[in-house]
Structure 1
Amino acid sequence: MGILSFVSFPVFTLYPDSIQERFIPPNGYKRVVYPKTSFASYLQNFPLKPKGSPVLLYNGNHKQNQVHAAVLDFPLLKRDLIQCADAVMKLRAEYFYAQKKYDAIQFKISNGMEVPFHRFAKGERVDVKGNKTSWKQGKFKKGYGRDVFEEYLQFIYSYAGTISLKSELVKKSVIQLEPGDVWIEAGSPGHVVMVVDKATSDDGQMVFLLAQSYMPSQEMHILKSEGEYSPWFPLPKGNNFQTPEWEFQTNQFYGFLNLKKSP
């Protein structure tokens, strides 16, 4: 896994070349509009790199399998630390961080331990000994600044993955699909792709856009589909859902749980 270092984008601005600016819904479909402060709107308005940009790996090389329609605009650091599940958690955390909803930033690591950002902000860190973890005090940096936030995220990337992420999600029907939902297969390896936009037709049909990161660490990108509306995907109708680099079971579809109050 490698680190994606996100630029701090304003949440409520319509970017000059965002997901929703570049990708117009197919004829007969209209984009679903969400509240400006929602995670769905944050994803729809996420900025993209210039048209024609390749997907880059953490080391600057081109991804071998270029299966994308666009590349999300955030830079990579030179470590192979963040992959598919980490990118999903990063987007979720960045959304809450931009809104200063710091208590909402919380993830489980692989042994099931809950790791909220606010404890890092208080100056605590996690002591890891094999599969055992505990909180420790020390002369650690405190506060909600970007440096502490990045340290927190790097810890999450190192000790979380598809298995821990799936444990935080709630199973959904695909007919309930909204931006922010995911298809996820937990395992080593596993994979996850995230819905980042949605459009509907007058007769109730639905299409959506998907984004992923992958192995090794690489820029998150909008996937192409094989249908007539590519890169828009129609709802899968069979038991399997084929994406360019992974086939999911259609029912491996999940959304984030409702926010919990941090202790």
Structure 2
Amino acid sequence: MKFGICFSILLLFCFPIVSESIQERFLPPNEYSRVFYPKESFSTYLQNFPLKPKGSPVFLYNGSKKQNQVHAAVLDFPLLNRDLIQCADAVMKLRAEYFYSQKEWEKIQFTISNGMPVPFSRFVKGDRVQVSGNKTKWKTSKFKKGTGREVFEEYLQFIYSYAGTISLKSELKKKQLRDLEPGDVWIEAGSPGHVVMVVDKAKSKEGKILFLLAQSYMPSQEMHILKNDTPHSPWFALPVGDHFQTPEWEFPTNAFYGFSP
């Protein structure tokens, strides 16, 4: 008997429990079917993003619990121990992590707040950005090169520090709600501004659309799936009217954007 218990414990260490993904945990409501996308697409990447165990609270970067627990699930989305990964940063991290997972290094690029485009490919070559007030320029020295995780994390931390909702919005393209796909966002630029991201989509035979939303917020906190006050929660319906209310922010309905392919 003791041998059996010990063997079971050993199996848990050797074969860790696989995390549920967004699409595994959240089945579409009756009369709706999930919309599927090409295997290597950003939409599929988001639908399959792993979640922390059911019932997990949202934690802040300093280890304390978020005061306003407005979530249905928490993404397995590690934070830094600094107040860096806020709403726009989390969206950019997901986008960058997707391209990194595909080894499409050349597609990882963001614009920082002064309008300077900063591609990951320059960090790969060993270049870094020198910041002086609002002025920036590239500099070359004996910086670490390559596409390894250490260089990638250094790149991301630079982006977190010098980009935000204003710079992110400048990179996005306006979209119509009827064309909503996972990876699209509602974004209001400002200081503060806010952004939420579509991470899954379902559709009825009549063409009605439901979707899941994820956000980070201020201060830096784990990214989470938002719940709402409708019978289909956490699934949202396309907003009607001029304003789209989410648990912690009201967006203009037309503040809807997507990334360029």
Taking structure 1 as the reference length, the TM-score comes to 0.92
The one-letter code matched in structure 1 to 2:259 is F
Q: Distance in 2 between matches of 1:93 and 1:257?
A: 13
Q: Does 1:229 align with 2:232?
A: yes
Q: Distance in 2 between matches of 1:175 and 1:50?
A: 33
1:16 Cα shift?
A: 4.5
Q: Who is 1:220 aligned against?
A: 223
The one-letter code matched in structure 1 to 2:41 is S
Q: Where does the alignment leave 5 or more consecutive residues of structure 1 unmatched? A: 1-14, 259-263
Q: Distance in 1 between matches of 2:251 and 2:231?
A: 21
Q: Who is 2:12 aligned against?
A: none
Q: Where does the alignment leave 5 or more consecutive residues of structure 2 unmatched? A: 1-17
Q: Who is 1:113 aligned against?
A: 116
Q: Distance in 1 between matches of 2:232 and 2:216?
A: 22
Taking structure 2 as the reference length, the TM-score comes to 0.93
Q: Distance in 2 between matches of 1:237 and 1:186?
A: 22
Secondary structure of the structure 1 residue equivalent to 2:244: strand
Secondary structure of the structure 2 residue equivalent to 1:25: coil
Q: Who is 1:255 aligned against?
A: 258
Q: Does 1:128 align with 2:131?
A: yes
The one-letter code matched in structure 2 to 1:109 is I
Q: Which runs of 4+ in 1 moved over 4 A?
A: none
Query: Per-residue CA shift, 1:165-191, capped at 9, x if unaligned?
Result: 000000001111000000000000000
Q: Distance in 2 between matches of 1:39 and 1:225?
A: 25
Q: Which has the higher helix share?
A: 2
Q: Which has the larger radius of gyration?
A: 2
Q: Who is 1:12 aligned against?
A: none
Q: Distance in 2 between matches of 1:113 and 1:30?
A: 42
Aligned residues: 244
Is the Cα–Cα contact under 8 Å of residues 91 and 197 in structure 2 kept in the other structure?
Answer: yes
Q: Distance in 1 between matches of 2:19 and 2:132?
A: 47
Q: Distance in 1 between matches of 2:236 and 2:103?
A: 33
Q: Distance in 1 between matches of 2:260 and 2:78?
A: 28
Q: Who is 2:71 aligned against?
A: 68
1:74 Cα shift?
A: 2.1
The one-letter code matched in structure 1 to 2:126 is G
Is the Cα–Cα contact under 8 Å of residues 22 and 47 in structure 2 kept in the other structure?
Answer: yes
1:41 Cα shift?
A: 0.2
Percent identity for Structure 1 against Structure 2: 77
